[in-house]
Chains A and B, each alone.
Chain A
Amino acid sequence: MIRIPIIIIAFYLSILNVFSQKSDTTIYQSRRLKIEEVNFVSSYYRQDGNNAAVTGGVGSEELTDFATTLDIRLSKIDRKSRINSYNFEIGIDTYTSASSDKVDPSTISSASSGDQRIYPSLAWSRLNDSKGMTIGANVSVSSEYDYLSIGGGVNAFKDSRDKSRQVGVRIQTYQDFVTMIYPIELRSGRTGGKESRNTYSTTFSYSQIINTRLQVLFLLDVAYQNGFLSLPFNRVYFSDTSVDIENLPGNRVKIPLSMRVNYFAGDIFIIRGFYRYYTDDWGLKSNTAEIETAIKITPFVSVSPFYRYYSQSGIRYFAGYQQHLRSESYYTSDYDLSTFDSHFVGSGIRLVAPNGVLGIAKFNTIEIRYGHYSRETGLVSNIVSLHAKFR
């Protein structure tokens, strides 16, 4: 009689054992470095205008640029459960510039007439999720025929406990070297060599979730530049018909302040807004306003028409062809620094396929964008970009 209950109890305990929670005796093993995502971005840009700085504010600004970047993001969780991310990027630009041919028209082969720029960079960040803290650092190099730029920076971000807001700071520097290539007729008596140009900037950021559909980001940059801030092959023609290379002050302080607002309206519209105010001590002030509306045609396909308005007041050292006085200390005829409004309009189409674009499992996203830019000075340009993401 007593054997039956013992068998029943043993059976009952064995069932309990199957469903009971096992004690965690496993030792944590650090995960191996894995590829999070790969991004390929390529664009073709073409512009034309009639205010080239190389020829003193007159002449063709025709330029084409074919640019491509490839970046790979890797991650690894360390023994303290912190996520370390590594981002390696390499970019190559190939461009031709009609105005730069005019540095030395006899050779049609001078600074930047047709050149390549190569720019590798490496960034690291470490997210400590339990503390809501991210720290990071980056280094970069950009090299072309007449210009070398070496960059480096550190950054830190702190999330609030409920992850509804984040504050951050970035400190960045670029140490640049300009090869002194002068216009052909202004080379006698000048030595070549290199001049330095240094940039130091600090960015403060604050992002905030307002509600389930709205979030904002504020950015404030304070940047200081010193060194040779002119370009040695930009001509300036004075009112007395004499000519010299442009001469700009050796220091510049820039303060841009911006706000980004994203709002998910209904189930298919996402409104992305951006506004920036900029001021610097050369007298340039600008306002930038941009709006983009992503329309979700399906949960995975969206079309994004956009419009950007930009307005700037020129620097106090700008004047056009033969308008500068020889008595002035600083002068340039670079229309990029003149007073103008500009408009940039276009659209993008984006496909996000959880099962892969064209049946390729890792091919997650493809986006194509086209934009048309027109500047009050007469410069017009067009750009088409392709972004492919693999993850």
Chain B
Amino acid sequence: MKNKMIAVAFFSLFVLAGCKPVKEYQKMYLNDSEMELSMRKGQKFENNFQLYREGSAGANGGKTGGGCGCN
């Protein structure tokens, strides 16, 4: 756990250290609908069944708890 957290922290620092200012007119690629930093609408029910069939949930834009999941 500790090693994984350190690895994630280092990776995050490495990525964030490379940040460059991006002007609005330079966001052609970032504004593409495929680049949205969220689940696709079409993934909604895939996420639902994974929530039911697996023991963990959350940190993906979906629910962390609540609801039955009894099937």
CA distance A272 to B39 in the complex (A): 10
Q: Are A336 and B52 in contact (CB under 8 A)?
A: yes
Q: Are B46 and A383 in contact (CB under 8 A)?
A: yes
User: A-facing mask of B23-43, CB < 8 A → 1, else 0?
Assistant: 010111110111111101111
A172 on the B face (CB < 8 A): yes
**What residues of chain A have their CB less than 8 Å away from a CB belonging to chain B?**
39, 41, 43, 45, 47, 63, 65, 67, 69, 95, 97, 99-100, 111-112, 142, 144, 146-147, 149, 151, 162-164, 172, 174, 176, 178, 197, 199, 201, 203, 207-213, 215-221, 223, 225, 231, 233, 254, 256-262, 264, 270, 272, 274, 276-280, 284-286, 288, 294, 296, 302, 304, 310, 312, 314-315, 336-337, 342, 344, 348, 350, 352, 365, 367-369, 371, 373, 375, 379, 381, 383, 385-387, 389
Given contacts A231-B70, A285-B1, contact A336 B54 (CB under 8 A): yes
22 contacts between A and B (CB under 8 A): A39-B41, A43-B45, A43-B46, A67-B45, A146-B70, A210-B20, A216-B15, A217-B37, A221-B64, A254-B58, A256-B56, A256-B57, A270-B34, A284-B56, A310-B54, A312-B54, A336-B52, A368-B42, A369-B43, A383-B46, A385-B46, A386-B42
Given A286-B55, A337-B55, A365-B33, 13 other A-B contacts at CB below 8 A? Answer: A47-B49, A174-B63, A210-B15, A223-B64, A256-B56, A256-B59, A277-B8, A278-B56, A342-B53, A368-B42, A387-B40, A387-B41, A387-B42
Distance in Å: Cβ of A175 to nearest Cβ of chain B: 8
> Interface residues of B: mostly helix, strand, loop or mixed?
loop
CA distance A326 to B71 in the complex (A): 26
Within 8 A of A (CB), among B3-35: 4-5, 8, 12, 15-16, 18-22, 24, 26-30, 32-35
With a cutoff of 8 Å between Cβ atoms, the chain B residues found around residue A379 in the complex are 53
Q: Are B32 and A270 in contact (CB under 8 A)?
A: yes
> Interface residues of A: mostly helix, strand, loop or mixed?
strand
With a cutoff of 8 Å between Cβ atoms, the chain B residues found around residue A368 in the complex are 42
CA distance A210 to B46 in the complex (A): 29
Given contacts A208-B16, A212-B30, contact A151 B53 (CB under 8 A): no
CA distance A172 to B53 in the complex (A): 23
Q: Are B71 and A213 in contact (CB under 8 A)?
A: no
Distance in Å: Cβ of A96 to nearest Cβ of chain B: 9
Distance in Å: Cβ of B10 to nearest Cβ of chain A: 12
Distance in Å: Cβ of A155 to nearest Cβ of chain B: 12
CA distance A359 to B34 in the complex (A): 23
Q: Are A277 and B60 in contact (CB under 8 A)?
A: no
Residue in A147, A310, A383 whose beta carbon sits within 8 Å of that of B45 in the complex:
A383
With a cutoff of 8 Å between Cβ atoms, the chain B residues found around residue A97 in the complex are 71
Residue in B28, B42, B45, B55 whose beta carbon sits within 8 Å of that of A336 in the complex:
B55
Residue in B16, B21, B29, B38 whose beta carbon sits within 8 Å of that of A162 in the complex:
B21
Distance in Å: Cβ of B37 to nearest Cβ of chain A: 4
Given contacts A112-B70, A280-B56, A312-B54, contact A201 B32 (CB under 8 A): no
Distance in Å: Cβ of A316 to nearest Cβ of chain B: 12
